[in-house]
């Protein structure tokens, strides 16, 4: 606890108790209810956080609207300069923020640090992007006319983020939005508000040093009600939401009903295919990182392993040797590879999925226990499970946010494996392990993987920020992070300019008055 108090101190979060306010950049005074934040690692109370009300939300939107009037007048490369300063601060605080991510969310320190690195990376990407918000120029069909397009900022971008990547996914959105000239209102998961408050502290300092209004980035700590206000609010032209398909459908419906834009990054049911031509030892490393990393709580976690019958027994037996030796424990301990689940509800979902899948005929090969003893007193530590299953089982079709790996056997050609891989509602991430060019290329064709992310000889999780991130079908269709994902944060305008003294009409229409 002392170590964590130091971390909070370093991040500029001074009073630990009784409560952080929220609302206006977490500073609203109208709050009635508080939420206690316990670490899933040891159950200790880290802080109590005030939950925002509808009035707080109103105030945040007004402040953001005012800030937008200032921010949009700052040239894009100068906005990039502010993001560069944010990225420097993140470098300075990487260790502290990484620790806080780890302690509040439960992912191991290596992954906490990786998450902050992901923030730094997207900042750097955004800095470069700030000079590259290009549109096309077109040749006009009319003489002495010119056509081009420009991208203008949208205004307020609402960001709803999930507990599992409490800060990185927000930064993908917020940093791109910022160089695009937008202001963001961030509703982090109510399970992980402290990391959000820490980020706001970092950003507040940068904005103050540059005489810019804090409302360029706002954070509002609240429950689903606040998310719903945002989704229905016409003053928020774009809502970017990460989380369950159930939540995403609600947000998408509400935003769609008012013809706003939404960017949805929802559930995955990611599979790795191991063909008989795979380098099995390499594949196993990817499988284990994908299945038990972040305790199975990434949207890109490996949930299904589709293995050719000729190597099936070998793969299964190797996994059954590796799993018992996985170090499970406190996420801040150097030797741990598997930390706790976020809370007891997640443990319940884990146990429930295992019970149901066994009811359907699944065979639990290993794991599936809740660990006991002093070190595991929180009741949030579980042993990662492997279940032999069939793809059509109800539970295999669902995304359970926990370390359960379903082993599925296939025979014949790679096409059969691809059919299984595509045979779920979700379409986020996928991968194939094979050294056979015909198989790997088949996987990447239009009749291959139907996911937003398709990897060869790399696992399903751990994408770099440079690519567009997101997926199809129930995953929601949105693309965040790299490539040209920035376009959704801007509105496109086509401009046609006539520098002649005539007024010819397009399509050669004659209309003389
Ligand atoms: C998420 O789980 O919502 O590709 C994001 C990955 C990370 C991001 C995951 N870079 O696993």
Please tell me the distance between residue 294's alpha carbon and the centre of ligand 1 in angstroms: 10
Q: Whose CA is nearest to atom 6 of ligand 1?
A: 462
Average pLDDT over every residue of 12-19: 47
**Angstrom distance (rounded) from CA 267 to CA 135:** 32
CB 186 within 8 A of CB 423: no
pLDDT score of 9: 74
- 260-315 pLDDT, tens digit per residue, is 999 999 999 999 999 999 999 999 999 999 999 999 999 999 999 999 999 999 99
- 47-82 pLDDT, tens digit per residue, is 778 888 898 899 999 999 999 999 999 999 999 999
Helix (H, G, I), strand (E, B) or coil at 50: strand
Read off the pLDDT band of 3 (50, 70, 90): low
Please name the residue that has the structure tokens 């500073």: 27
- The yes-or-no verdict on residue 22 having pLDDT over 80 is no
Catalogue the E-assigned strands of 337-459: 363-366, 385-388, 404-410, 426-427, 429-433, 453-456
- 157-166 pLDDT, tens digit per residue, is 999 999 999 9
Read off the pLDDT band of 28 (50, 70, 90): very low
- 328-377 pLDDT, tens digit per residue, is 999 999 999 999 999 999 999 999 999 999 999 999 999 999 999 999 99
**Tokens encoding 412:** 């014949």
Please tell me the distance between residue 511's alpha carbon and the centre of ligand 1 in angstroms: 57
Q: In the chain, what is the greatest distance between 2 CA atoms, to the nearest angstrom? A: 90
**Angstrom distance (rounded) from CA 58 to CA 23:** 9
Average pLDDT over every residue of 100-113: 97
| Cα end-to-end distance, the chain, whole Å | 82
342: DSSP letter: S
Mark whether 265 is an active-site residue.
yes
pLDDT score of 36: 86
- The catalytic residue among 104, 111, 115, 265 is 265
Q: Whose CA is nearest to atom 1 of ligand 1?
A: 299
Residue count of the chain? 513
Which of 160, 161, 165 is the pocket-test mutation for ligand 1 (most atoms within 8 Å of CB)? Answer: 165
pTM of the predicted model, to two decimals? 0.95
Q: Which residues pair with 198 in a beta bridge?
A: none
Q: What is the ipTM of this complex?
A: 0.98
CB 338 within 8 A of CB 345: no
Cα 432-359-292 angle, rounded to 5 deg: 40
């Amino acid at each position: 606890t002392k170590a964590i108090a130091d971390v909070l101190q370093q991040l500029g979060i001074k009073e630990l108790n009784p409560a952080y306010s929220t609302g206006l950049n977490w500073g609203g005074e109208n709050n009635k209810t508080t939420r206690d934040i316990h670490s899933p690692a040891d159950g200790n109370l880290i802080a109590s956080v005030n939950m925002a009300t509808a009035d707080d939300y109103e105030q945040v939107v007004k402040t953001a609207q005012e800030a937008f009037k200032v921010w949009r007048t700052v040239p894009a490369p100068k906005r990039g300069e502010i993001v560069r300063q944010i990225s420097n601060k993140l470098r300075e605080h990487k260790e502290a923020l990484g620790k806080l991510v780890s302690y509040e969310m439960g992912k191991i320190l290596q992954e906490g640090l990786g998450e902050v690195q992901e923030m730094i990376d997207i900042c750097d990407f955004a800095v470069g992007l700030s000079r590259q918000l290009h549109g096309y120029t077109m040749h006009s069909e009319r003489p002495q006319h010119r056509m081009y397009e420009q991208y203008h900022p949208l205004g307020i971008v609402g960001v709803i983020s999930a507990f599992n990547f409490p800060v990185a996914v927000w930064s993908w959105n917020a940093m791109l939005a910022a160089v695009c000239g937008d202001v963001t209102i961030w509703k982090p998961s109510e399970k992980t508000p402290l990391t959000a408050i820490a980020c706001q502290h970092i950003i507040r300092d940068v904005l103050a040093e540059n005489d810019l209004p804090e409302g360029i980035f706002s954070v509002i700590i609240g429950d689903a009600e606040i998310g719903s206000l945002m989704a229905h609010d016409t003053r928020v032209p774009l809502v970017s939401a990460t989380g369950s398909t159930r939540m995403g459908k609600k947000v998408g419906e509400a935003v769609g009903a008012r013809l706003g834009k939404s960017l949805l990054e929802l559930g995955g049911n990611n599979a790795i295919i191991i063909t008989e031509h795979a380098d099995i030892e390499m594949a196993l490393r990817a499988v284990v990182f994908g299945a038990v990393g972040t305790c199975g709580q990434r949207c890109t976690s490996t949930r299904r392993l589709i293995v050719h019958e000729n190597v099936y027994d070998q793969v299964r037996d190797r996994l059954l040797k590796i799993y018992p030796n996985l170090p499970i424990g406190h996420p801040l301990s150097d030797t741990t590879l598997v930390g706790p689940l976020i809370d007891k509800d997640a443990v319940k979902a884990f146990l429930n999925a295992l019970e149901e899948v066994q009811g359907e005929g699944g065979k639990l090969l290993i794991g599936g226990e809740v660990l006991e003893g002093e070190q595991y007193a929180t009741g949030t530590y579980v042993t990662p499970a492997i279940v032999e299953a069939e793809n059509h089982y109800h539970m295999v079709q669902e995304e359970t946010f926990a370390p359960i790996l379903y082993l599925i056997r296939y025979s014949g050609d790679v096409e059969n494996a691809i059919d299984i891989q595509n045979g779920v509602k979700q379409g986020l991430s996928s991968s194939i392990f094979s050294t056979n060019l015909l198989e790997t290329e088949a996987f990447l064709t239009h009749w291959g993987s139907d996911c937003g992310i398709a990897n060869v000889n790399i696992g399903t999780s751990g994408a770099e920020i440079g690519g567009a991130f997101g997926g199809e079908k129930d995953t929601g269709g949105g693309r965040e992070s790299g490539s040209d994902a920035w376009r959704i944060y801007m509105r496109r305008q086509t401009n046609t300019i006539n520098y002649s003294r005539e007024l010819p009409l397009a399509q050669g229409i004659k209309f003389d008055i």
